[in-house]
Copies of this chain bind each other. A is one copy, B any other.
Amino acid sequence: MTTLFDQTIPQFSKMLGNLDAWLGAAVALAEQKKFSPDVIANSRLAADMFTLIQQVQSACDAAKYAGAYMSGTTPPSHPDTETTMVELRARIATVRAHLETVTRESCAGAEERKVSPPWLHGAWLTGADYITQVAIPNFYFHVVTAYDILRHNGVALGKQAFIGAMPVHT
């Protein structure tokens, strides 16, 4: 049976790897067009939306907190200090390494766990509802918006780069 862990941690890590590759494509475009890649890093789709830097930081946090809430642990602190593409890609690598330490076993019982993030002010969601209705949509919100900022700035990406590798059988 697929568990909440299977639905999230390995897939979130894969998507963060895809995101890293998209940032690599942005850096390559910047080199080719002779502009600083950090122009794109500071781009946003609306004045009151997050920059690419903030979208990547938020995607990393969404993945990290999903693991923490499923396993009832406190995640490592990753201050939002990144200002460059190089630092952003290092943040992704750090979070992906951390996600390797989150195991199916450590997330046992996640479905019924009470999840009470600070922004719920003491109220709580079941682990299952938190993952399905908050963690997954919020993670993809930031990953897709990062993708959209890159595409809006001319980085050549397509649906295959978005989805990434698939475990196909023949």
Q: What is the interface of chain A, defined by CB distance below 8 A to chain B?
A: 1-2, 4, 6-7, 11, 14-15, 45-46, 49, 111, 114, 120, 122-126, 128-129, 132-134, 136-138, 140-141, 144-145, 147-148, 151-152, 154, 159, 162-164, 166-170
Q: Is the interface of A mostly helix, strand, loop or mixed?
A: helix
7 new A-B contacts at CB < 8 Å, known A49-B151, A140-B141, A145-B148: A2-B4, A2-B132, A6-B128, A46-B154, A126-B169, A133-B166, A136-B140
Residue numbers in B under 8 Å from A151 (CB-CB): 45-46, 49
Query: Known: A141-B140, A145-B148, A151-B46. Is A169-B124 also a contact (CB below 8 A)?
Result: yes
Min CB–CB distance A105 → chain B (angstroms): 17
Cβ–Cβ contact A11 & B148, under 8 A: no
> Nearest Cβ distance between residue A115 and chain B, in whole angstroms?
10
Specify which chain B residues have a CB less than 8 angstroms from the CB of A45 in the assembled complex.
45, 148, 151-152
Are A138 and B163 in contact, with the CB atoms below 8 A?
yes
Q: Which residue, of A124, A137, A152, has the highest number of chain B Cβ atoms within 10 A? A: A137
Also in contact, A144 and B148, with CB within 8 A (given A46-B154, A111-B2): yes
B46 touches A125 (CB 8 A): no
